[in-house]
Structure 1
């Protein structure tokens, strides 16, 4: 279409409405795809289904770039499943517990554990939570606080790492829009440039050590912490001073089942270190000769290197578990294959998002939105608007990945059309999706963080919300500033504002 009209946005409208109504992004995306096919081919059910399958879905999956991304995601799924069930994470946590004898150290250890286990945002709560839960109980730290720390280091860390599932998924969505807009941009380079503008993720990670340093909380979290402390004990006391002998027993959640991570007497912390080292060595051997990271490497070579690295890392872990008699080779291979199959929903979301983007190009959706934006929409305001809308969608659906699939195909073409700061705008979508996810009581990470901590789901949502809203407000103001100045150092200003706000709010609010 040379002059698309308002009807071109109908697939997007249906996608948004159905996603929000059903709280299921797959249903929304599929409805949007069907709507677009009907608009292009007429309302003949047999023709619509035929065209949907043979022209659009098959065409999307057989595209070399798309197929490479899906294959890579499958390899990542298998590796993550092995890591989560190897017992390496609990073994690593047990090693670092030797120097933990205070509330502050326990919270920082859980924080470091969440950052270190970066390879799986959904695995982090089920590894870190159960491992640190007994220690938090012993030190009179609320399980709400443990759930908050886990939630602040699961998705926020994962979204900043380009070579794990989050990064590969996001780069897949980015590259599709770059190609559609005929822009010679590399998704890898774009993702790296977007990292400093992922304000919410950065703020969510750094609020934990800031609160530990202040030794104070505010809002419902302060009350939860107070309830866990004996009245005569100061929160900075340690185990060794004998003051923590009389303590209330934390009340476990009535809703969340007690989850325990897989442990084994023969499991080693090396189950984490060695596979990651293998991965790094393989990547270096395959990519450094091509000039990486100082030169851009072909996307196909990058995906092949990552797939090889994940596969060989998985093999090394299977070998380690067999050597130490933790799991047999057959059992490990079965787990690996199950992990691969667990990526099916991600592959479906990606395929539908790519298909909807291609159909939108045929309908002129992005062109129409860009034309409307050019009629007076301030370019510097796009990041802030993208952050708000992404937050709303993510909050309502509980899915940050689904939000990315909906919003990136809208924001990227608009940024090109009105000369808005591209990296800031993409960072706003990612931050908004994460912000809404943290505020949502139905998001997967909220549920898993509460489950891993054996904390009531609503209590986790209620105690985390003030912190998420504070970080969200700072992020929103930062996106307004970044939309105008577009400087990568603005995240330092955001951290400074967060620091000052925390100091001011907690000035007279003790546990």
Structure 2
């Protein structure tokens, strides 16, 4: 798990996160975090620290999982470029103008599609963002709101529904059961038992739907929506979108815009990913067994290649492009994702540095051995939040916290069922921290595929994530002291969340004097035409 540098292990993620918020320049901020950590590891030697930071970055790029995800990102860019230039997005926008009747229907459509494509959280951002980015501009929905939908349906849905996340969670739970010497509950059964305790995912998915349906925003998101409703500006005045297709790829061809050009590459991608999960995991028995054995990174790479190949095929078969134009579009698609790839590599490298410095060890050492179980669930939740926020990875947080939380809970209570509930609590904290962290790869991808400024996305999403986190923090306290079933706690949490939503909306409407904008929002919900 790495060495233990004590409180110094906090410095790299702290530098990266503070600089990201201060400068809005994510890439140099991430590198500054990596460099600061490497200098500490090298005993304060700047030259050795700089050299070591290069080694860390190279290792992150050449890690097989990371390398495949990088290629996935590049091939997704190729697929997007063909969809755009062949007129697929243009055709979809024209179709949407006829089918979508309100802002509300567009927002709800993005929410539903996000849950339907949850086979992988990165896929949610890519597919949902591509489908609704241009439609959102048409219906005066801010980039911040679209990126919130992408980010807040991706990991929560993937953590609950059929996805590659399930196999990973089962693996981490298995390690926790082994460490606790619990033999009467199998990892798959323990995973199923843990699902109801993943309060953050459950309540976040509902909360996103409520906000999309009511249009009752608050905090920075209310200001972003007001800007778009009043001016039609998809991004803020000083925003730097992480991906601007119009400027990167130019105007689409209006030769023969067809919706099938948009749909076919995405369907090909999803089909191949599902097939890839089955093929690489076919040694397992049943759906859970297949997922447990599947190699998700390979399946994603194959799916993105299918998307890119479908784009090339359509360009040539329809004769909308000649061979040279097709190859130029392919290259431009790769260029489109260069910044994305660089940020992903930096984020992974920072995670490696914090792991080597023993950040998790330092955080866990603060728990202590003698704790009242009443406060144990909330402690595990908060530690998971902090770890995920600092490292930018929910999967890394699960790997650190789940094998520790289960045996600790079992040691305190002697109850195996209570012990396995901890994995759901770890996952809640991990996804929250991942959502709020500007150095998270899924947060970055949500910004990219929505066309949002990354830090604007982070700033507008944090208040919503914190609202849900505060509510479920109360639920975990109640569970710790009274061990009340989730069947009661989840409805209770939902009622509190809905009341809090109403209170916050009314407060910020008054604070920003936005009653006119809210009525405009309701008017816009009837028709934007």
TM bucket, shorter chain: 0.5 to 0.7
Q: 1:79 to 1:161 in 2, by over 3 A?
A: farther
How many Å separate the matches in 2 of 1:226 and 1:352? 36
Unaligned residue ranges in structure 2 (runs of 5+): 21-28, 410-418, 510-517, 520-529
| Superposed displacement of residue 121, structure 1 | 3.1
1:187-226 aligned within 5 A: 199-200=199-200, 202-211=202-211, 213-214=213-214
Maintained 8 Å contact 1:96/1:109: no
How many Å separate the matches in 2 of 1:190 and 1:71? 32
Which one of the candidate residues 119, 122, 125 is aligned to 1:121?
Answer: 125
Which one of the candidate residues 379, 385, 396 is aligned to 1:382?
Answer: 379
How many Å separate the matches in 1 of 2:485 and 2:505? 30
Q: 1:422 to 1:169 in 2, by over 3 A?
A: closer
How many Å separate the matches in 1 of 2:36 and 2:292? 34
Q: 1:9 to 1:90 in 2, by over 3 A?
A: farther
Maintained 8 Å contact 2:272/2:303: yes
| Superposed displacement of residue 115, structure 1 | 5.6
Q: 1:128 to 1:406 in 2, by over 3 A?
A: same
How many Å separate the matches in 2 of 1:224 and 1:49? 39
Which one of the candidate residues 288, 293, 302 is aligned to 2:287?
Answer: 293
How many Å separate the matches in 2 of 1:30 and 1:384? 30
How many Å separate the matches in 2 of 1:178 and 1:25? 33
Maintained 8 Å contact 1:478/1:494: yes
Q: 1:474 to 1:379 in 2, by over 3 A?
A: closer
Give per-residue Cα distances to partners, 1:455-495, cap 9 Å, x unaligned: xx97x889877645433422433444566759776656544
Which one of the candidate residues 148, 156, 173 is aligned to 1:152?
Answer: 148
Q: Please state if 1:69 is matched with 2:65.
A: yes
Give per-residue Cα distances to partners, 1:180-221, cap 9 Å, x unaligned: 999699999999987765544554443344245557566787
Which one of the candidate residues 308, 321, 334 is aligned to 2:331?
Answer: 334
TM-score normalised by L of structure 1: 0.65
Q: 1:208 to 1:125 in 2, by over 3 A?
A: same
How many Å separate the matches in 1 of 2:218 and 2:334? 45
Q: Please state if 1:477 is matched with 2:471.
A: no
Q: Please state if 1:83 is matched with 2:79.
A: yes
Maintained 8 Å contact 1:78/1:337: yes
How many Å separate the matches in 1 of 2:395 and 2:138? 39
Greater share of residues in helix: 2
Hey, what does 1:274 align to over in structure 2? 268
How many Å separate the matches in 2 of 1:260 and 1:50? 36
Hey, what does 1:28 align to over in structure 2? 33
1:429 alignment partner, SS class: helix
How many Å separate the matches in 2 of 1:44 and 1:406? 28
How many Å separate the matches in 1 of 2:228 and 2:45? 63
How many Å separate the matches in 2 of 1:181 and 1:348? 33
Hey, what does 2:136 align to over in structure 1? 132
Hey, what does 1:19 align to over in structure 2? 16
Q: Please state if 1:101 is matched with 2:101.
A: yes
2:16 alignment partner, SS class: helix
Q: 1:376 to 1:20 in 2, by over 3 A?
A: farther
Moved more, 202-211 or 479-488: 479-488
RMSD value, Cα: 5.5
How many Å separate the matches in 2 of 1:208 and 1:48? 43
Maintained 8 Å contact 1:150/1:449: no
1:295 alignment partner, SS class: helix
Maintained 8 Å contact 2:200/2:468: yes
Hey, what does 2:345 align to over in structure 1? 347
2:288 alignment partner, SS class: coil
Hey, what does 2:427 align to over in structure 1? 426
Q: Please state if 1:498 is matched with 2:488.
A: no
Q: 1:340 to 1:103 in 2, by over 3 A?
A: closer
Hey, what does 1:232 align to over in structure 2? none
Q: Aligned pairs, how many?
A: 453
| Superposed displacement of residue 69, structure 1 | 0.7
TM-score normalised by L of structure 2: 0.63
Maintained 8 Å contact 1:126/1:449: yes
Maintained 8 Å contact 1:199/1:427: yes
| Superposed displacement of residue 9, structure 1 | 1.6
How many Å separate the matches in 1 of 2:188 and 2:70? 19
| Superposed displacement of residue 428, structure 1 | 0.3
How many Å separate the matches in 1 of 2:354 and 2:208? 39
| Superposed displacement of residue 334, structure 1 | 1.9
Maintained 8 Å contact 1:77/1:340: yes
| Superposed displacement of residue 424, structure 1 | 1.4
2:125 alignment partner, SS class: coil
Maintained 8 Å contact 1:111/1:208: yes
Maintained 8 Å contact 2:156/2:205: no
How many Å separate the matches in 1 of 2:228 and 2:312? 42
Q: 1:384 to 1:356 in 2, by over 3 A?
A: closer
How many Å separate the matches in 2 of 1:426 and 1:111? 21
| Superposed displacement of residue 380, structure 1 | 2.0
Maintained 8 Å contact 1:203/1:471: yes
